[in-house]
Every structure is written in structure tokens, then in C-alpha cells.
């Protein structure tokens, strides 16, 4: 596909990069990325993917925009309060880059709908805010061999890892199971500095673009740990777990699990969460 003059102008600063060029830009324009959660992680990630020209971006989020989101969820603005986040997200990405096709999924992911949604995408970004979704997304991506870019944030800390099923470890190789219900009497609302979410969300966008372009070393088998107070990044090794519940040769999990939200703060908010499968 030949780039138009306008595309060459819009994307010129990345087209001139070594290892990108017109061919790389073409890959980006044809790529399809699904962003789960349009919050602290998904918002900055979505902006950079749309700006880079990722052809199709899916946004999954069942929430509506609230005032307390705006400190970090930069896809949404004050006038969007009360709107579905997928709608305000679509509006903002379309305003930034009208070339990008944005598909909205204003739903909560569960074992009955996730497969149908992820099958249309080349890569999945996990920007969700809860363990049930995290493990559901990991398992669905492993089972369907879909690349997954993971990140998590808490207060001044962040973690990021890229998961290429079949080639490297998955999230369960790192943390085999979510915290059990009942083990946690109360869960604290930890708070987060908006810029910390931004750092991790942008790292996720960076991994997506490296994956699309096939350049560099992705965070496969490596967990990146960001400490905002020290301004340090550290990397620890994440080996593949030969006994992994989902990605080993003899997986114990072959169908998706709807974990119950263990966090009491969130259970109050999401009273419609399903029982454990």
C-alpha cells in the first residue's frame, strides 16, 4: 500500500527512523490492537498507538467517566463526565488521528465474550484494574496464542512484561494464581500518581509498536519494575514455568475462569460479578 503525501507528512518522524521506513509504517497502518481498560494505562497507550497510525484500535471498558478519573486517565476530559469511557476514548483518538478505526466494547470482559473480541486483533494490551480480568485476559491470550502486553501500577510502583505465548512465559508463570478470596480481609485503595500510570502505559505502547515493527528486544521473559520515587527501572528474570497452569505442556487450565473479585472495595462497585466458574 503506497503512503499518501499526508501520511508521509504525518508519520515522517517515525518513517525516517532506522528499521521503520515506509514498510514499517505500512505495518503500523495495517495493525490491529485491542486495549483493555481505558484508564490510567490504556489512555496514554491508546494515544500513542493512534498517533503512530495503528490501523484499528479496540477499546474495552464498561465504566463511565468520573471526575476522579481525570487526574490520570488522559483520554477523557471534564466535559466527558458521565459518558461511557469507550465513547470519550473514541472521540479523543479520532480527533487526534481520523485515519484510525476505533471499535468500542462498552462491556465487562468475561469467559463468555473475551474470545470473540480478541480474535480480531494482532496484539492485546492489558490496562485492566482488577485481578479477575488480568487472569482472564492472560489465559485467553495464551489459549489463542495472542501477544499480550501486561502492566500493573500501584502508588509509585509499576510493572510491565510482554507475553508471547509459546515463545516466553505468561503472567501465570510469574504469579501462578490471583490472591484467594477470603485471604484478604480488606484491600486498600492504594492511590496512584497519574504520571506513573503514564510511564507504564507508554511503555506498553512502546512494546506494541516494537511487536508490530518486529524491532528490538521485547520484555519477554523479563519483568520491568519502575520505582517512581527513585526514578529507577529494574529488570528481573521471568523463566517459563514448566508446571504453569495454563502455558505449560500439560496445562491444568483449559477453559477460562471467571474469578470473583477478591477486593472488597471493588465488589461493592461491581455487584454483578459472576461466581467462580
Partner 1 sequence: MAKVKVRIPAPLQKITQNKQEVTCEAVNIKELIKDLEKQFPGIKARLLDENGKIRRFINFYVNDEDIRFLKHDETSLSEGAEVSIIPAIAGGCYGFD
Give yes or no for residue 188 binding partner 1 (CB under 8 A): yes
Q: State how far the Cα of 147 lies from the Cα of 150, in Å rounded to an integer.
A: 10
The span from the CA of 149 to the CA of 151, in Å, is 7
Q: Closer CB to partner 1, residue 88 or residue 128? A: 128
Binding flag, residue 73, partner 1 (CB under 8 A) = no
* Binding test (CB under 8 A) with partner 1, winner from 94, 225, 257, 267: 225
Distance separating alpha carbons of residues 20 and 29, to the nearest angstrom: 12
> For residues 94 and 161, what is the distance between their CA atoms, to the nearest angstrom?
28
Q: How far is CA 151 from the centre of its chain?
A: 7
CA torsion, ordered 118, 123, 126, 132, to nearest 10 deg: 40
Q: Does 175 bind partner 1 (CB under 8 A)?
A: yes
Does position 178 interact with partner 1 (CB under 8 A)? The reply is yes
Which residue of 13, 237, 268, 275 would you call a contact of partner 1, by CB under 8 A?
Answer: 237
Q: How far is the CB of 130 from partner 1 (least distance, A)?
A: 5
Return the residue matching grid coordinates 461466581: 275
**Segment lying near partner 1 (by CB under 8 A), choices 13-21, 27-35, 62-70, 220-228:** 220-228
Which of residues 20 and 151 has its CB atom nearest to partner 1 in the complex? 151
In this complex, which beta carbon is closest to partner 1, that of residue 20 or of residue 245? 245
Comparison of 48 and 156: residue with beta carbon closer to partner 1 = 156
Scan for cell 518486529, then name that residue. 214
Q: Which of 208, 262, 269, 245 is nearest to 45 (CA)?
A: 208
Select 179 or 214, whichever has its Cβ closest to partner 1: 179
Q: Which of 43, 45, 123, 153 binds partner 1 (CB under 8 A)?
A: 153
Amino acid at each position: 500500500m503506497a503512503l499518501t503525501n499526508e501520511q508521509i507528512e504525518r508519520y515522517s518522524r517515525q518513517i525516517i527512523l532506522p528499521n521503520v521506513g515506509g514498510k514499517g509504517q505500512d505495518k503500523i497502518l495495517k495493525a490491529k490492537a485491542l486495549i483493555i481498560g481505558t484508564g490510567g494505562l490504556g489512555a496514554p497507550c491508546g494515544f500513542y498507538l493512534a498517533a503512530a497510525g495503528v490501523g484499528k484500535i479496540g477499546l474495552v471498558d464498561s465504566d463511565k467517566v468520573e471526575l476522579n478519573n481525570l487526574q490520570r486517565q488522559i483520554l477523557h476530559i471534564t466535559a466527558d463526565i458521565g459518558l461511557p469511557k469507550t465513547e470519550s476514548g473514541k472521540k479523543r483518538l479520532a480527533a487526534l488521528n481520523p485515519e484510525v478505526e476505533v471499535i468500542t466494547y462498552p462491556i465487562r470482559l468475561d469467559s463468555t465474550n473475551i474470545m470473540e473480541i480478541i480474535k480480531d486483533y494482532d496484539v492485546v494490551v492489558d490496562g485492566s484494574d482488577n485481578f479477575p480480568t488480568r487472569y482472564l485476559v492472560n489465559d485467553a491470550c495464551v489459549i489463542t496464542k495472542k501477544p499480550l502486553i501486561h502492566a500493573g501500577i500501584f502508588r509509585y510502583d509499576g510493572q510491565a512484561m510482554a507475553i508471547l505465548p509459546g515463545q516466553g512465559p505468561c503472567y501465570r508463570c510469574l504469579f501462578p494464581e490471583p490472591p484467594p478470596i477470603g485471604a484478604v480481609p480488606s484491600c486498600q485503595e492504594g492511590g496512584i500518581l497519574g504520571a506513573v500510570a503514564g510511564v507504564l502505559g507508554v511503555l506498553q505502547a512502546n512494546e506494541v509498536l516494537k511487536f508490530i515493527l518486529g524491532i528490538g528486544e521485547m520484555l519477554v521473559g523479563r519483568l520491568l519494575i519502575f520505582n517512581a520515587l527513585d526514578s529507577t527501572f529494574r529488570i528481573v528474570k521471568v523463566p517459563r514455568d514448566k508446571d504453569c497452569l495454563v502455558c505449560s505442556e500439560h496445562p491444568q487450565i483449559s477453559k477460562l475462569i471467571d474469578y470473583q473479585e477478591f477486593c472488597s472495595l471493588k465488589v461493592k462497585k461491581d455487584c454483578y460479578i459472576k461466581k467462580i466458574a
